Structure formats: structure tokens, C-alpha cells
Structure 1
Amino acid sequence: MPRRDAAAQAGVHERTARDWDRGIRKIGNARLHPDGRRIDYKTGVSTTVCAAPASLSAVEAELHPRFLTVTERELISDLRRQGESLRAIGRALGRPASTVKREIDARSAEGVYQPHRAHRAWAASRARPRQSKLAQDGPLRDHVAQKLRERWSPEQIRNNLLLEFPGDEGMRVSPETIYQAIYVQARGGLRREVAVALRTGRTIRTPRRTGGARQPRFTHPMIMISDRPAEVEDRAVPGHWEGDLIMGSRNETAIVTLVERHTRYVLLGHLPGGHTAEEVRDVLTALIATLPEHLRGSLTWDQGSEMAAHKQFTVATGVPVYFCDPHSPWQRGSNENTNGLLRQYFPKGTDLSVHSAEDLEHVAQQLNGRPRKTLGWATPAERLRDLLTTT
């Protein structure tokens, strides 16, 4: 059709259409010609700028070879009008016929394939300017923020949403989306909020490291974890515990932590004066004494010096103590994970003696009320309750 009619349909001036045909681009008050001349049409001043590489068209940038270019789309349109088959068009492009078919099926409007419209539609489909779910105010963001304040992990929050809002697709978020929101905020300066939201308190993800070897330090011989009964390993039988200390500032104060392997139930022991072997023995003995007989199976600990009185503990309670191999925290994985959770309440480098026995009981209740992935999103308190009511 004549240029004037084409310009009218495109909604531009005929002179603009003529410039497009000649490869001339308008930049501000000047026109940039394909040969690199820049002419200010108000002053008439002409300057020469660095010309674009010949391999780059004025209407497209360099693309990965797997993408169709606007030139290839023009060729598809031309050959399609000539009645060529899909295979013939594919051979001309050096691409599979299926690629041509998908392009025509997806980009045709009312049965007509227009190459530039198709290219614009493809370019628009590549953009993903979608805002993060948690960057928007609303019930989802409020719910996530509330659970983070309660020290729930992102994965716990995700699965809790499935249970609390089973029919509401708007109340869905992945754990990674929560992590990304937290870490982006951290880079923006909200480090204090991150320390509260995540149990590690980290603003970036860091690799783990291992330390050097540790020597045994007990008078009485240790029973190693390799001698522990198989029923303890598979967690099938309740009553087997993992234990450790979490340390305060300068390693002067500590708290005893016990985790039941079957239910992940947590017990915390108060050590107001210190953490000598005798003090730890007495606190452990008192904690075990609160349990029914069938939940006093065994205790697994690392080779810390605080367990030097392990033989006396076993005599007093009848609970055997099994010791992990040096530098093998995964052999007490449940306890290590729990200690990480407890650091939200008892940060590293703080004085742990200021927390009373009532404070520890409150923290233990909160941990035991959290849903756990390994328990099918039940809570340790629910599992222990079921265990006590069925035995």
C-alpha cells in the first residue's frame, strides 16, 4: 500500500514513516542516520557519531540463536503468503518445521501472521515485571510477618498456610520467596529485623566449616555410638534422647538441652551457677526424673568434658549414655537443629544465667508447639501427647 496509507494506519506522520524506511531514528531534537550522521533538525548542525555495527539491525538487538529474530519472522510471513509449506519455511530458516508451526499458531491474529506484531508480542512475553508477593501489603504478608515474629521458619510458614487456608490460592508462598524477601531487606539495611526473623541471625548464607580433632577426656570409658542399639538409630522406639549444652558469653554460662528422637520433644535444664560435670549431672538427673519409665531409654551426647560424670548419671537414672565420634554433630542431628532454634531465644555471646527456670520452660513450650516437617507438620507436643495416651 502507499506509504501515506500505511502511516495513517500506524498512526504516525508520513515523514516519520519515510525516516523508518531509511533507517533513520529520532533522538531528542536530532535524527540519527544509519551512516552515523547526527543532524539537529532545529539548528541544522550535523555531527558524526560512532556508527552501530553492521550486524545489528535498527529494529532489533542481538539475540541468542535459539530465538527467532524479526528478520526471520518477516521471512516466515513472506513465505507463508507465497503458499510455502511449513517444512519449506523451516528449511529456509534452518530451523525445524515444528518451530515454524508453533510460531504461527501462537502469534497469528485472526488467522493472519504479522511479523512485527508477532515480534512485539514475543518481546512483551519475555518481560517479568511482576512484584514479589511479600512486597505487597495484604493478609499474606501480614501472616508471614506474624509467624516470623513467632520465630517460625519459612518452610513451617509455607506448610501452615496450606493447612489454615486450604481453599485460598492467594495465601500461598514458597520458602524461597520468604528467604529472598528477608535477604533483600537485609541488604537494604534491616539487619536487626533479620536477626529476629531467622534463627541463625545471618544476613547472607554461609558455608559450614569443620574444626580440628578433640581428645577424649573421661576417666570412665565411653560407650560409643557404634554400640548403640539399632532401635535407637531408626527412631522407631520412643524414649531415646540427644543432649548438649548451648553456651553463653565467654563459655561461662550454659543451658542443658534434651531432644527426644522420636517426637522431637524438647526439655531445657537450668544451670545458673556453672556447667561443671557435677552440675550437668545433677540437672540431667532431675530432667530424666520427670519422665515416665518407658521414656528413659538412652542419652546420646558429644565428647564434651561436661559429661565426665556420665557413669554416675547412668547409675542414678538407669539411662545409658552413648558418645558421638569426634566432630560428628550429624550423629545428634535433632539436637543440633534444636540448638539452632534456641539461638533465637538465647543469642550467642549473651549471659544465659539471667534466664530463670520459668523462662526456659516457656521457651520449651513454644518450641514444642511449632509444627515440624519431619512429623508431617504435627507438633512435638501433639506427638508426645498421643504417645502418652496410647501407652
Structure 2
Amino acid sequence: MPTFRSTRTRSRVLPLAVASALALALTACSPAASDAEPGAAGETVDHGEISVQYSWIKNEEFAGEFYAYENGYYDEAGFSEVIGISGPDTGVAKLLSGTVQVALSDAASIGAAIAEQDAPLKIIGATFQKNPFTILSLADGADITTPQDLVGKKIGVQDSNASVFAALLTANGIDPADVTVVPVDFDPTPLMDGDVDGFMAYLTNEALTVEVAGYDVTNLAYADNGVPYVAETFSVTEQYLAENADLLKSFLTAEIKGWTDVFQEDTDASVELIQKYYNEAAEASADGLESVFGALDPTKTGMGLEAQKLLISTEETEANGLFTISDALKQQTVDSLAAAGWDVAVEDLFDTTIIDEIYAENPDLKDYLP
């Protein structure tokens, strides 16, 4: 699901909010989670409490986190509590202010904060090897199968996603003047009603909404058409990374185990688990989006979960393990961000030392497929 979505502002980071948070971060104390080092053999590690900002509502996008709760992986890792906070939220401002310690964010939001505000943030791993953006069209309509098919078309684009859409045009040498951009929100009705030829969507959300409604759809996936970058990233501040490497290693290990369960468990069982955590979030917050959206559609939830797996699991993760980011993908990510107007260096955006260490020490964790 989205790393950019309705009410999410992940394609752009609000400069004032980030600047304010950055100022707070320069004077804030390090977060409250325990700095305890792993003990000798037989000793229990106590990492205390950690807060994690989710990018979106508690749906299938966080199935791995739900399994980490359900099967005790966070407990085994030494956490007294892992507080998962519903979005929508890029997590940037909260990371910088110390309100949360980890954010499940995206490369565009983190990269924009670094490029525009010199924010001291790092991506330490990524759930999605491929970003879920697509230009959605109807198979019996515009049927947009290549970037050049965008020329002369009316494309519905959300304001928060304008920069990323511009990156798609830039990466494919398309003059923006040759495409008519129609402002839309995240409801794909304008596409179904024929008001636009294409619609900027998520492979894991709006594309499924239209399909479930009975339409045959065509997807022009950004990741396969010149704009490859990681999404659903584990992001932290540089200070927190420097001071809590062992804690983060424990946390990511629990996350790997949780997402391994997503791949190894039956889809119906996973949907049931997702509904449980979604419903709990809805009950806990009367004004949260879980409550606003109402009950999850189990059919669409299952479809979303399967669509996510195609973004998470690649030949590289099969070889190197979940959440790893190859050098090539790091470079592709910063190149994609540059096309959107955010210039960052690989070393400024990424530090995957911890995830690499986890697999070097525990190579068996690479085997996530059933």
C-alpha cells in the first residue's frame, strides 16, 4: 500500500515541519529505548520500549509486523513493548523530533528531507524492493502499456505525487507539455467514469479497487519503467543508529522472522490476522482512518497481500535475504530521486551495515520462501 497516498504527503516533505523537527532534534536527548548491550551467553537482553511509525493504516502493508507480535519475535528480541503507530505519516518529522525511533517510510520522503533540509536520516533496510506506483488504465480504454503511450493522454495525478510523476516523464524522455495532468484525489472513480485516460495508483491498492469493481486493468509500473526505488523503508536518525546498533539488529531480526511468516503461512490465515490488528486499531481510535474506512474487504486484502509479495521478493532478496538493498538498487534509487528533483548521494541515504551483519551472522534467515 502506499508510500504515497490519500492524506499522506510522502512525495514531498513539508519544509517548515521538517525544519522545526530538525531544530528539535539538535537539542533532544536520545530516545528512551534501553541502550543495553547484548549480554553474555544465557543472559537476557532488555531493549525496553521502542516506537515505530507506520506509513499507513494497519492493514496488509504491515502483515510482517503483525506476525512479529503474534508469534513473540519482538519479545524474543528483548523488547518490553513495540508500539506500532498507525499512519498516514512519512515519519520524517517524528524521527527528527525523537517522538519515534523507527519509521516505515519510503525513499522519496527520506531522500527529500535529506536533499531539502539536510536531515540526518538513514535508510537501514527496505521491505519493498520495488515501489508500488503505477499508471493505471482500463484495458478496454487507453490501455497504457508503455511510457510513450502517455503522450497525448489525460492522466489523473494527486498533488502529493506530482514530483514522482514528473520523474516518470523525465526518466522516459517525455515532454510534460505532451501530457495533460488532471488533479485528482485517491479515489479512482475518475478513471472508471472515463474522465481520465490513466490514473496514478498503487499496485497494491487502487489498482485492486478497480479490478475488484469488475474492470480489466492495465498497469504501467514505475519500477519497471525507469523509476526503480525502494519503498516501505526502515528509517532512523543517524544519531539513533550510532547509539543503538545492537537494538536495531535485534529489531530487524524480529522483523525478518515476521515477514518470513507472511511468505510461509496460508494467505487466508494471514488475512484473518490482518483483520484482527486492523479491527483493534479501529476500536482503539474512534477518529483513526481504520474507523473511517470501515471493515476490511477480505478479498481485496488477500489480493493486496499477494501483490505485495511481488514487490518484496526478488532474485536479489532470494540470494541475500529480506530487507537487503543491493549496491545497484541503491544507485537506481538515488537516480530515480534525482529525476524527481532530489539530489542525494548513496552514502547520504543508505546505511545497510546492520542488515548485512544480521545475514552474515545468521545466514539461515535468508531462507524466507516456503
Using structure 1 for the length normalisation, give the TM-score.
0.20
Which structure has more relative contact order (CA 8 Å, sep 6+)? It is 2
TM-score, with structure 2 as normaliser? 0.21
- Higher Cα radius of gyration: 1
Structure with a larger share of its residues in strand: 2
